């Protein structure tokens, strides 16, 4: 099962890469840009076919993919008569849309996975099903029984017991009307919560079950939006703390320091954690699927944000160049001068190579760490 989880993670990762590049492909074609290649992987070509003017295929090294849009720089030669289809010739707005489409695709994947957890797969939650009643409690005095399912509290439907049950603590000792389902019958029970000094609140005196819960379409959309936003904020925080975590990663990799589960992790480490989750005997089948989907969703959201960083060679770096072009054009208009030529990213090659080397070194260190000192979340 663990191997199955690793394979599933690799497939999900490659699918995410494909969707990312497909975002670039669709928007570039929409704006009439020339797209000559769409490949998964790098290195030697293993298989390909041509449809229209684009060659689609798979290459030997499954470490990403690319969508080749012609005319990325002024030096790129375009076929005669197609100069206007160059990426460089497009408006800054169109450039931003094409460049941002890849990250947008990652957010869509993350959102859909989280939505699926809420709407279809289900998530672990407190259920309104009573599994235990405290002796001499308000629940026992009122006639609640183990197995009762609480449907309403003061005529308000119970949708989320963890939230709705707070009404009991906020009752200030007044009588509450409950509707419960017992052996197929619908009953009405009135109970007055008792104040428990040790808890500093009013309690009914019941312990409910923990199980799988699914919610409706619109609540799922709302919950998925909230969760996606929360994961996005956490991803941004992680990026801000990334430089400070690099020395820690080096110590963990080469000095035998214990790996921090909340520290940096590479693709190999994420795949291993996914394998652990899918192969865990401590989780139910539903929980394993839920955990796997959440890992893939979190990774997509993080990659989507990381790719928007304003540094070359990331898409965010190219977007920063397009924005800088518009700022320069604005100043030129203010001074009533012609629009200046667009910034040639080739001029920024030394910066691009420097960033590439840093990212490559970090990737190698993460790879070594994930192999010799892997993270284990003990599912």
Q: What is the pLDDT of residues 242-293, one digit of tens each?
A: 888 888 888 888 887 888 777 778 888 888 888 888 888 888 888 899 999 9
Q: Residue 337: phi, psi to the nearest 5?
A: -115, 160
The answer on pLDDT for 197 being more than 90 is no
pLDDT for 225: 97
Q: What CATH number labels 124-213? A: 2.30.42.10
Q: Are 109 and 22 in contact (CB under 8 A)?
A: no
Tokens 């030669």 belong to which residue? Answer: 77
CA distance 311 to 193: 59
Q: Are 366 and 259 in contact (CB under 8 A)?
A: no
Confidence class for position 129, pLDDT limits 50, 70, 90:
very high
CA distances from 19 to 11, 119, 339 (A): 12, 23, 35
DSSP track, 76-110:
S---TT-GGGSGGGS-HHHHHHHHHHHHHHHHHHH
Q: Are 115 and 221 in contact (CB under 8 A)?
A: yes
For 276, residues 6+ apart whose C-beta sits below 8 A from its C-beta are: 2, 5, 376, 377, 378, 379
pLDDT for 268: 82
Q: What integer is the mean pLDDT of 189-199?
A: 89
pLDDT for 218: 93
Q: Which long-range contacts (CB under 8 A, 24 or more apart) does 287-295 make?
A: 287/124, 288/5, 289/121, 290/117, 290/121, 290/122, 290/123, 290/124, 291/379, 292/5, 292/8, 292/9, 293/113, 293/114, 293/116, 293/117, 293/121, 294/113, 294/114, 294/117, 295/9, 295/270
CA distance 272 to 269: 5
For the chain, the structural domain boundaries read 1-34+70-122+216-379, 124-213
DSSP track, 257-281:
PPPPTTS---HHHHHHHHHHHHH-S
Q: What integer is the mean pLDDT of 42-55?
A: 93
pLDDT for 127: 93
Q: What is the dihedral of CA 97, 35, 57, 24, to 10 degrees?
A: 0
Q: What integer is the mean pLDDT of 106-112?
A: 97
Q: Tell me, rounded to whole angstroms, the distance of Cα 97 from its chain centroid.
A: 21
For 59, residues 6+ apart whose C-beta sits below 8 A from its C-beta are: 39, 40, 41, 42, 43, 44, 45, 46
Helix (H) or strand (E) holding 339: none
Confidence class for position 301, pLDDT limits 50, 70, 90:
very high
The answer on pLDDT for 22 being more than 80 is yes
Rg, C-alpha atoms of the chain: 28
Q: How high is the mean pLDDT of the chain?
A: 90
For the record, the structure tokens of 227 come out as: 């969760």
| Nearest alpha-carbon partner for 303 in 260, 267, 275 | 267
For the record, the structure tokens of 356 come out as: 């590439």
Can you say whether the dihedral through the CA atoms of 250, 253, 256, 260 is positive or negative? positive
CA-based end-to-end distance of the chain? 13
Length of the chain: 379
Q: Tell me, rounded to whole angstroms, the distance of Cα 241 from its chain centroid.
A: 18
Helix (H, G, I), strand (E, B) or coil at 195: strand
pLDDT for 141: 94
């Amino acid at each position: 099962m663990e191997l199955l989880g690793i394979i599933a993670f690799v497939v999900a990762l490659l699918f995410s890469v494909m969707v990312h590049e497909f975002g670039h492909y669709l928007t570039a074609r929409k704006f009439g840009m020339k797209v000559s290649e769409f490949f998964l992987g790098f290195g030697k070509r293993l298989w390909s076919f041509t449809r229209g003017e684009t060659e689609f295929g798979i290459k030997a090294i499954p470490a990403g993919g690319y969508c080749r849009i012609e005319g990325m720089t002024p030096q790129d030669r375009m076929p005669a008569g197609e100069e206007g289809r160059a990426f460089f010739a497009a408006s800054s707005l169109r450039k931003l849309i094409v460049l941002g489409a890849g990250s947008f695709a990652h957010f869509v994947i993350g959102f859909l996975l989280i939505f699926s957890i809420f709407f279809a797969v289900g998530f672990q939650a407190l259920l309104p099903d009573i599994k235990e009643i405290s002796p001499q409690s308000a629940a026992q005095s009122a006639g609640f029984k183990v197995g009762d399912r609480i449907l309403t509290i003061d005529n308000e439907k119970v949708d989320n017991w963890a939230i709705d049950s707070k009404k009991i603590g906020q009752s200030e000792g007044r009588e509450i009307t409950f509707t419960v389902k017992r052996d197929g019958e619908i009953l009405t029970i009135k109970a007055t919560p008792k104040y428990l000094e040790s808890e500093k609140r009013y309690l009914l005196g019941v312990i409910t079950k923990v199980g799988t819960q699914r919610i409706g379409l619109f609540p799922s959309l709302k919950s998925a939006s909230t969760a996606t936003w929360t994961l996005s904020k956490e991803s941004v925080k992680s990026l801000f703390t990334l430089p400070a975590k690099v020395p820690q990663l080096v110590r963990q990799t080469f000095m035998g320091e214990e790996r921090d589960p909340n520290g940096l992790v590479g693709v190999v480490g994420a795949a291993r954690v996914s394998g652990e989750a899918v192969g865990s005997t401590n989780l139910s089948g539903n929980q394993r699927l839920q955990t796997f989907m959440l890992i893939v969703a979190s990774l997509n959201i993080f990659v989507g944000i990381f790719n928007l960083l304003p540094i070359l060679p990331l898409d965010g770096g190219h977007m920063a160049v397009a924005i800088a072009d518009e700022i320069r054009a604005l100043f030129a208009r203010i001074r009533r001068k012609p629009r200046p030529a667009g910034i040639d990213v080739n001029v920024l090659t030394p910066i691009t190579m420097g960033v590439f080397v840093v990212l490559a070194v970090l990737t190698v260190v993460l790879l070594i760490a994930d192999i010799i000192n892997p993270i284990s979340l003990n599912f």
